[in-house]
A and B are shown apart, each in its own frame.
Chain A
Amino acid sequence: MGSIIVSTLIRTLIAGTPLLLGTLGEIVTERSGVLNLGVEGMMAIGAMTAFTVTLTTGSPWFGLLAAFLAGALAGGIHAFVSITLKANQVVSGLALTMLGLGVSGLFGRPFIGRPLPSKLSTLPIPGLADIPVLGRILFSQDPLFYLAVILGILLWILLARTRWGIEIRSVGENPAAAEVQGVNVARIRYLCVLLGGALAGMAGAHLSLVYSKSWTEGLTGGRGWIVIALTIFALWNPLRAFLGAFLFGCIFVLQYLLQPIGVPPNFLAMMPYLATLAVLLAGGLRKDHRRLLAPAKLGEAYTKGER
């Protein structure tokens, strides 16, 4: 029994890592006032890029770097369309999702079903990994897990405690006032959307390099949309993102745990999506003040000199 719990927790952290990376990215993006619904597409591009580059170069680290850059590039398209051209951000995000799923399907086709030559192996942290139980769960994970955790903490410090964080938040809350203070609104927003895309690319890389160790079309399976829901659930706070991401990681793992008991697999496959709805509905029921916590200018383009 104990070993089942331990292995469930280990797999929860693995399944939650891509959700955490993606949510952190969307938090930075949305904090700067830009809504990017293209996470699913950026994740798909990241997953495909990471896998193909790892296969061609033989190094998963190159794959990860390529996914980071590809995600940023995909985010850059959304940034250009929504910040420079001030087009509709909702539709631009949808277009990015379609494009990302299409491009990754088109270019990833020859790589479907091929095994990874070298993997991002687990990296036990010396000393800490020897702690009974906890060491196996927390400190014997893959490198991307540690990276995601460190990034989450750094991002929280960045947003809550630094001048850059103040600038990012002010651009999302009141760009006109930020502009008066000498902040370059467009530049900050561009940087945030690019970083958000890069993190979504890394989330995709985790899916193809660590989580499934293969590439298929539809690998992302709606995780990009769950990420957007988790961003709301996290109330745009990187620390709360940990809670949401690993909660949903657990739900993904429960699917496999409950199957032998005789619950129909199709019903289990619905669980993450039903849980997403439940979480958002519960937020509405509690009538908490999440609307007040959302960046005030989320989804609105900003034109210099306008208010």
Chain B
Amino acid sequence: MSNDKDDSKELPSFIKNWNQFYGIIIVWLVFLIFVFWLITIFFR
């Protein structure tokens, strides 16, 4: 993955670099799918 150092200073302070941000997006997606799966099972 790209790690563009020039614009990483524009990131919010709690995110170190772009790769970490991309990781957060993937974790968020997995989390959403997991929550939706739980909702599907719970309200079946």
- A and B held together in a complex: no
Residues of B within 8 A of A (CB): none
